Structure 1
Amino acid sequence: MRRFDVPGRSPVIAENGIAATSHPLGTSTAISVLREGGSAVDAAIAASVTLSVVEPQMTGIGGDCFALIAQADGQVHGLNGSGRAAADANAGWYRDNGFTEIPDLSAHSITVPGAVKAWEVMHSRFGKLPFERLFTDAIGLAEHGYAVAPRVAFDWVRQVETLRRDEGTSKHLLISGEAPTFGDRVSCAALAKTLRLIAGEGSSAFYQGAVAAEIAATVQAKGGFLTEADLAAVEADWVTPIATSYGGHEVLEIPPNGQGVVALIMMNLMTLLNTAELPHDSAERYHLEIEAGRVAYAVRDAMVGDPAHMTISSEELTSMAFAQSLVGQIDRSKRNPSVTVPKLPASNTVYLTVADRDGMAVSIINSVYGSFGSQIMTPDSGVLLQNRGACFVVAEGHPNAIGPSKRPMHTIIPAMALKGGRPSVSFGVMGGAYQPMGHAHVFSNITDHGMDPQAALDHGRVFWAEDGALNIEAGVPVEVSEGLERFGHKVQAADTPLGGGQAISIDHDRGFFIAGSDPRKDGHAAGY
């Protein structure tokens, strides 16, 4: 039970349906759809479309999507809605032309947007309401405008200089060359028109015809390789989730090309280190989580990519035997300086979760990767294009080297947990590279320390910076910072919040959902 004499908020408890998103309008959309008889999948898609309008720095129809869908009987379905590189993309070309990496804000970083196809595929299998209905709120907000929320304004103003460079972003995302501020009304008639096309005609209106032609032309005019044929070939694939056991639950993630495998490796290491026995606000707990993370992320950077090009399977990576081979790199008493600080790709993402009265729970994440993605936007159709291709490397022979029609290593990861064969926790944590660390930390808060979803998300976070120093959030006790320094870590105050997240716990015994939403974003949980 939280203290009521300090800032904070209670978890939301509801019986018939519940949703937690990173923006109030996204949550409102989800609850409206549930009340109309829509499934959790309907509500999750509708909320995702709304967030594509009101959180443009984080997500959009030009981005990607992953989802885990749990049914009441414990069946869990994974969907990989990530797009691919152009068929003509080749790592050798990039090396020959002097590229050592794929530039973040360039046409070369743009991969095929997978989200729209993923939404359609999910709806065709699990939807109850007409597909067109799921776009109603988003179209209205794009056409008539919405008020910019505080965290959205905070993110927007930091990108003004680069947004000015592109015709589309200057036209649709700036007001007289400046970012909107908190409370300003923002609209995008071009995006509303495109959303209306998709709602009425399905994903083909996006991946074929005038919209696809403009996307391809925009990318090619800036030197990229994406073609109309690449867009028309998009697929969203049903995949078998990968899993490990932690805290009496079976924790599921999407298999690579996502980094969910890193969260599972971390949880295996935490099991071997018995971190559950440590106090939740102890320096040793944070130290061991950080060290487990550094080891697991190093595995990601060396081995994870498009599964068709990996040399080791997800099952091997998530085995306890593999964790046993790694755990010797972790010293309980001090930081191990020999572990390389993993690469930290930035990411801007929305994660949301919904559960309905039929016992279906959806864990879904959508993203354009960088802040406003590639910061390249089609002038006529208003499609902001992701820069997920920046996650590729150009090194010869690397499993994540850019290549023809290849999926890049992905930072965005939804999670789901089962207990006794039934869905128990639907959760996710945003924040680019932080996400696996966030999954491990937040889920440990719930299972090891008895926190409700809101308290688990509120809890202070620690993560490393590019130079290896630890960024410490203001909510972390000073005793923890001092203890981490004694363990050999360099610490510093985090200048921005670490990620964001949402979670729903399912109390089967009493028949209620319990949800929380991260205070690091603008959103909230709601139910009925």
Structure 2
Amino acid sequence: MQAWSPAVEAGRGPTVAAGGMVTSSSPVVSRLGAAVLADGGTAVDAALAMTAMAWLALPGQCGIGGDAFAVVREPDGRVWTVNGSGYGPDGASAEAYLDEGLTALPMGGARAVATPGALGALATLHAAGGTRDLGELWAPVVAAARAGLPCTVKNRADIAEHADALAADDGLRRWLMPAGRVPSVGDRLPAEELAASIERLAADPLALYRGALAEQAVELLRAGGAPFSGDEWAAGGTVPAEDAISAPYGDLVVHQTPPPSPGWMVLHQAGLLDELLTGLPTCGADAVHLLALAARRAFRDRYERCGSDTDAWRTLLTADALARARDELAAQPLVPGGVGMAGDTTSCVAVDGDGQAVSAISSLAFTFGARISLPGTGIALNNRLGRGAYLLPGHPNALAPRRKPLHTLNAWLLTDRAGRLRHVGNTPGGDGQVQWNMQLISHLVDGGLDPQTAVAAPRFTVHPGSDADALGGTETLQCESRLGGAVLAELAVRGHDVRDVGPWGAGGSALVVSVDPERGVLAGGADPRQDGVALGV
């Protein structure tokens, strides 16, 4: 096995356009976003439409009952974010659950659920940057739900893996297994109940958090043993627009989503690695080693110090703290605990002709979330609380009333020092996200790769990260074999427990759009690990 070379394995070239561009992990999602841009909509309009279409096209990865984050760059250079994730129950605490005999939160069912943040985030995104009515933007999604999108290979694999749990929920079974079995590729999956819900929520997105729908959700969860009061459910719909958090990398500036998003971990890695990767071969042993050490350090710091309602992450990004951490990189111990890459998420990117750019990402946490739905609505609920919160009393991320669990979702964009857009992207993949996003940024900035080559480059993952369901797991470095035998061998010599996951087995579905500000040309890429496509208008 020879080491990977971008010149040898570039694959297809990037999609290019002089107007606007979208990219996502599904052709039908990208097609809708491109249609919105072609009809004069903004990047925010396109992202709102694409996010909703993904509820149908990738139902295991996202939904109304999940979370959503986005970072937006305006044509005037201002960068802002929405961060839609919800609270655990007001009546829940680590101490109370331990007293019941639990050792960890369940990954499915009512007690795994946090208040959904997606609709609150999308409502704010629309109010702050949308130009088209949500009913108009989501009308194609409603029509597609009623007709039924054809089952894809990805859909079928997700449904087959979780068939027993889906069959146990009447609403999910009727939608995803309408014939009482795992569907075949190409079978249409009509979702009339979900169509009606989307119509209802397009008129009032916050109806999920108040009134009859909210009361139904709280009643269902309380019946399942989750001590929601209803007040935290209502509070979950309040998602303010916030400033991005930012840090330099090379000649550019990285803008990220703030906590409870782990976007600060990308900034942390960028601060540790700035200038260290310059001139190193992309995906060579030296670069992979340094990227892995930086990711390991970020996860260690997250586990030891950070929760969704603390500012400890800020102290990690100071110049003095980064300098000390750089000195300690080679000697740092293994991560004290973490989680695998299980779970699913999806994302999209949109850039319009005026220079507005959006990186948006949404999730149910694990595939199909908690694998329960609100009866009669088609709305699947997330399992973010089970995935994210610790039953460790006193820990910054311990389960506590009205506390958001730590999150995996983050979205980023890069500008030059003058504020001009240069790159915008994201990837799903649990705790792989913050690592792969840093790898993408390095490929683009340090390696000078085009977007398609960057998203297709061999991927590697410090595993586990720092989610709740596998604390104390043995650390490995999971590497795609396309890195080459010599690189894998050298990483092992340097002390990494290297695991070969095959040529394309690391996971994720990275998306990037890059801007040539001098020529006004966009170039986009979509990860070949899924079904994505970049489209220009």
Fold-level similarity (TM above 0.5): yes
Choose 202-211 or 459-468, whichever is displaced more.
Answer: 202-211
User: Partner of 2:467 in structure 1?
Assistant: none
SS at match of 2:510: strand
Choose 173-182 or 344-353, whichever is displaced more.
Answer: 173-182
Once the 2 structures are TM-superposed, how far is the Cα of residue 306 of structure 1 from its aligned partner? 1.6
CA contact (8 A) 2:124 2:241 kept: no
Structure 2 spans left out of the alignment, 5+ residues: 465-473
State the distance in 1 between where 2:411 and 2:155 align: 22
In the TM superposition, what are the counterparts of 1:473-492 in structure 2 within 5 Å?
473-492=480-499
CA contact (8 A) 2:66 2:117 kept: yes
In the TM superposition, what are the counterparts of 1:56-75 in structure 2 within 5 Å?
56-75=59-78
Deviations 1:352-372 (A, max 9, x none): 110111110011111111111
In the TM superposition, what are the counterparts of 1:429-508 in structure 2 within 5 Å?
429-466=427-464, 467-494=474-501, 496-508=505-517
Letter in 2 for 1:412: L
Letter in 2 for 1:108: R
Letter in 1 for 2:31: S
Once the 2 structures are TM-superposed, how far is the Cα of residue 172 of structure 1 from its aligned partner? 2.6
Once the 2 structures are TM-superposed, how far is the Cα of residue 121 of structure 1 from its aligned partner? 1.3
State the distance in 2 between where 1:474 and 1:484 align: 12
After TM superposition, where is structure 1 displaced by more than 4 Å over at least 4 residues in a row?
A: 2-7, 335-339
CA contact (8 A) 1:497 1:520 kept: no
SS at match of 2:241: strand
Structure 1 spans left out of the alignment, 5+ residues: none
Deviations 1:71-104 (A, max 9, x none): 1221001111111222222222112112222111
Once the 2 structures are TM-superposed, how far is the Cα of residue 349 of structure 1 from its aligned partner? 0.8
1:405 aligns with 2:407: no
User: Partner of 1:325 in structure 2?
Assistant: 324
State the distance in 2 between where 1:501 and 1:306 align: 25
User: Partner of 1:276 in structure 2?
Assistant: 278
SS at match of 2:367: coil
SS at match of 1:29: helix
Letter in 1 for 2:298: A
State the distance in 2 between where 1:157 and 1:248 align: 47
User: Partner of 1:423 in structure 2?
Assistant: 421
In the TM superposition, what are the counterparts of 1:286-435 in structure 2 within 5 Å?
286-307=288-309, 310=310, 312=312, 314-331=313-330, 338-340=334-336, 342-344=338-340, 346-390=342-386, 391-419=388-416, 420-435=418-433
Once the 2 structures are TM-superposed, how far is the Cα of residue 373 of structure 1 from its aligned partner? 0.6
Q: 1:338 to 1:68 in 2, by over 3 A?
A: closer
SS at match of 2:171: helix
State the distance in 2 between where 1:125 and 1:152 align: 33
Choose 85-94 or 448-457, whichever is displaced more.
Answer: 85-94
Letter in 2 for 1:321: D
CA contact (8 A) 1:171 1:379 kept: no
Letter in 2 for 1:17: G
CA contact (8 A) 1:363 1:415 kept: yes
Q: 1:526 to 1:202 in 2, by over 3 A?
A: same
CA contact (8 A) 2:389 2:397 kept: yes
CA contact (8 A) 1:347 1:411 kept: no
Choose 159-168 or 89-98, whichever is displaced more.
Answer: 159-168
Q: 1:133 to 1:475 in 2, by over 3 A?
A: farther
Deviations 1:394-434 (A, max 9, x none): 21121111222221111000011110222211111210000
State the distance in 2 between where 1:178 and 1:507 align: 49
Which residue of 203, 215, 224 corresponds with 2:205? Answer: 203
CA contact (8 A) 1:70 1:362 kept: yes
SS at match of 2:101: coil
SS at match of 2:461: strand
State the distance in 1 between where 2:7 and 2:148 align: 36
Letter in 2 for 1:34: L
In the TM superposition, what are the counterparts of 1:14-163 in structure 2 within 5 Å?
14-163=17-166
Q: 1:339 to 1:368 in 2, by over 3 A?
A: closer
User: Partner of 1:513 in structure 2?
Assistant: 522
* Backbone CA RMSD of aligned residues: 2.0
Letter in 2 for 1:520: R
Letter in 1 for 2:527: D
State the distance in 2 between where 1:187 and 1:298 align: 45
Deviations 1:185-206 (A, max 9, x none): 112111111011112x211332
TM-score normalised by length of structure 2: 0.92
User: Partner of 1:193 in structure 2?
Assistant: 196
State the distance in 2 between where 1:501 and 1:68 align: 16
Which residue of 9, 14, 33 corresponds with 1:11? Answer: 14
Letter in 2 for 1:437: Q
Choose 279-288 or 471-480, whichever is displaced more.
Answer: 471-480
State the distance in 2 between where 1:336 and 1:315 align: 20
CA contact (8 A) 1:66 1:365 kept: yes
Once the 2 structures are TM-superposed, how far is the Cα of residue 499 of structure 1 from its aligned partner? 1.2
TM-score normalised by length of structure 1: 0.93
Once the 2 structures are TM-superposed, how far is the Cα of residue 337 of structure 1 from its aligned partner? 5.0
Choose 296-305 or 176-185, whichever is displaced more.
Answer: 176-185
CA contact (8 A) 1:363 1:414 kept: yes
Q: How many equivalent pairs are there?
A: 519
Letter in 1 for 2:171: G
1:285 aligns with 2:284: no
Q: 1:178 to 1:471 in 2, by over 3 A?
A: farther
User: Partner of 1:217 in structure 2?
Assistant: 219
State the distance in 2 between where 1:321 and 1:342 align: 27
SS at match of 1:142: helix
Percent sequence identity over matched residues? 29
State the distance in 1 between where 2:183 and 2:227 align: 33
State the distance in 2 between where 1:216 and 1:362 align: 32
State the distance in 2 between where 1:292 and 1:405 align: 32
CA contact (8 A) 2:21 2:34 kept: yes
Once the 2 structures are TM-superposed, how far is the Cα of residue 230 of structure 1 from its aligned partner? 3.1
Q: 1:379 to 1:281 in 2, by over 3 A?
A: same
CA contact (8 A) 1:473 1:497 kept: yes
